[in-house]
Amino acid sequence: MATKEEQQAYAEKIKPIQPKPPYFINCLKAFLIGGLICLIGEAVQKFYMTYFNFSAETAGNPTVATLILVAALLTGLGVYDKIGQFAGAGSVVPVTGFANAVTSAALEHKSEGLVLGVATNLFKLAGAVIVFGAVSAYIFGMIRYLFQHLM
Amino acid sequence: MNLQGRQTWKFTNSIYLNAAGTSVGPLESEGPLGSFFDKTYSDLHCNQKNWELAERQLMEDAIDVCLKKTKLQPEDINFLLAGDLLNQIVSANYTARGNGIPYLGVFGACSTSMESLALGALLVDGGYANRVIAAVSSHNATAERQFRYPTEYGGQKPDTATFTVTGAGAALVSKEVSDIKITSATIGKVVDLGIKDPFDMGSAMAPAAADTIAAHLKEMNVAADEYDLIATGDLSGVGAPIVKMLLKEQGIDISDNHRDCGLMIYRPDQPVFAGGSGCACSAVVTYGYILDEIRKGNLNKVLMVATGALLSPVMVQQKESIPTVAHGVVLERAEGGN
């Protein structure tokens, strides 16, 4: 087993050879594609408000559902992972990324059956989002409650 | 003495690689070596229901082709030495269940190709087998599922990542005279220089490859230019320059005769990041392309070093680094069986 010093020396030595991640280009791509997804969301929301008499508040649910449906379909058609490789965080962070995480896990584990395959592994990737979403909602809810009632 | 130094076997008898079979998926068949592979699939599923069955199909095909070329039946083979990248090496186990050849499962991650070939040659040389088949397989989608994310997950991979080759290779080893000889093999030790990034296995494996190549040259007492080709398995665009650099530090220059299978199997414009990886990467390039080059006389003596990242997702999540190993086998042209 190599010592800490040997490991550090090796890491230093190979640094010039390793390709640098193009941080700026990646950020730009993420910004553009992430923004584009949000723009599409806006358009869908306007569509529901104009043609189905939703208010700005109530249009949220059908808009999110539509985006999730489209992202799930794109995942199934093998397109979303290609968008993801290009856009990085831009297509992971929006709700479409969550839909992709769930759908891709479901597709992957279809071969092990509906219960132990699909159902068990459905939230394999997205589970962490739900856990930390619920926990942080609880914590911030408590903080808000304290501020509202004690101050 | 059959043992040279500490870790190199020099086979005393003439051991021959009689025939090989290769099968690959769509991206590999479209690559620059596509015409060298025996069986190609235009569909990643290889006409099977799921990815695991597809990988098994590839391994069965490779062995079938290998047997057909030599007009042998599974009953004529003493042992099958096989492995793959999946848990419990399932592709190899189920293939062995199908053909009924007495079986030894081997695992050395992507180094399994040369590990199985070296062990096969050893069994034949020692008189413990007349005919052995060494086979390995890997599949891009099964490897993604085993080691990374679901295939359709939209995560972004860095440029240092490698792309698992979909394919399988099998080789028949015996003392029956043919045009390719297996003359020696060097077994590598497990090397770990602290790389923890599973998306940079080239950097992790390069020191193991350098260690095995240096040990081989020293124990066989030969210079690097003795070989027309020193090939590494799947160091890719990141690891290939590192192994050259590490060997140069030890006074060994392989800049003229080194090539990496991970860079040979795909065109640079294919979407494979730093290059190919997986057991099948070194196997199909060796058993498809390199053997052909030796037969044609374009290469006379080749040191094939298969590199393996002994990666476990659980261990990496526990913040352990990635141990790696590399095994080398020397293949020589045997004109008229000499």
Residue in chain B closest to A85 (alpha carbons) equals B156
Q: Is the pLDDT of residue B111 over 70?
A: yes
Count of other CB atoms within 10 angstroms of residue B235? 33
Name chain B contacts of A78, Cβ cutoff 8 Å: 152
pLDDT at residue A131 in the model: 96
Model pTM score: 0.95
Quick one: closest CA in B to A26, which residue? B156
Contact residues on chain B for A13, CB-CB shorter than 8 A = 245
Q: Among A52-56, B83-87, B110-114, which stretch is predicted with the lowest mean pLDDT? A: A52-56
Instruction: Provide φ and ψ at B262, rounded to 5°.
Output: -65, -25
C-beta separation of B172 from B131 below 8 A: yes
Residues recorded for chain B: 338
What are the residues of chain A with a beta carbon less than 8 Å away from any beta carbon of chain B? 1-2, 4, 6-8, 10-11, 13-14, 17-19, 21, 26, 75-76, 78, 80-81, 83-85, 87-89, 91-92, 97, 100-101, 103-105, 107-109, 111, 124-125
Quote the CA–CA distance of B98 and B335 in Å, as a whole number. Answer: 36
CA distance B324 to B232: 13
Per-residue model confidence (pLDDT) at position A151: 73
Model confidence pLDDT, tens digit, residues A6-40: 999 999 999 999 888 899 999 999 999 999 999 99
> What's the one-letter identity of residue A141?
G
The predicted model gives B148-166 an average pLDDT of 93
Q: Could you report the per-residue pLDDT of B304-326, keeping only the tens digit for each?
A: 999 999 999 999 999 999 999 99
Identify the pLDDT of residue B166.
98
The H or E element containing residue B64 is helix B51-70
Flag whether pLDDT at B338 surpasses 70: no
CA distance A82 to chain B (A): 7
pLDDT-based confidence at A150, cuts 50/70/90?
confident
Q: Is B243 exposed, middle or buried (0-12, 13-18, 19+ CB in 10 A)?
A: buried
ipTM of this predicted structure: 0.89
pLDDT classification of A1: cutoffs 50, 70, 90: confident
Residue B293 has a pLDDT of: 97
pLDDT in tens, B185-218: 999 999 999 999 999 999 999 999 999 999 999 9
What are the C-alpha distances in Å from A89 to residues A44, A86, B157, B163, B331? 22, 9, 11, 21, 47
pLDDT of B106 > 90? The answer is yes
CB contact under 8 A, B149 and A104: yes
> What are the residue ranges of helices labelled H in B196-260?
201-220, 236-249
Residue of A75, A77, A90, A74 lying closest to A37 (CA atoms): A90
Cross-chain residue pair A7–B50, CB shorter than 8 Å: no
pLDDT confidence of residue B4: 96
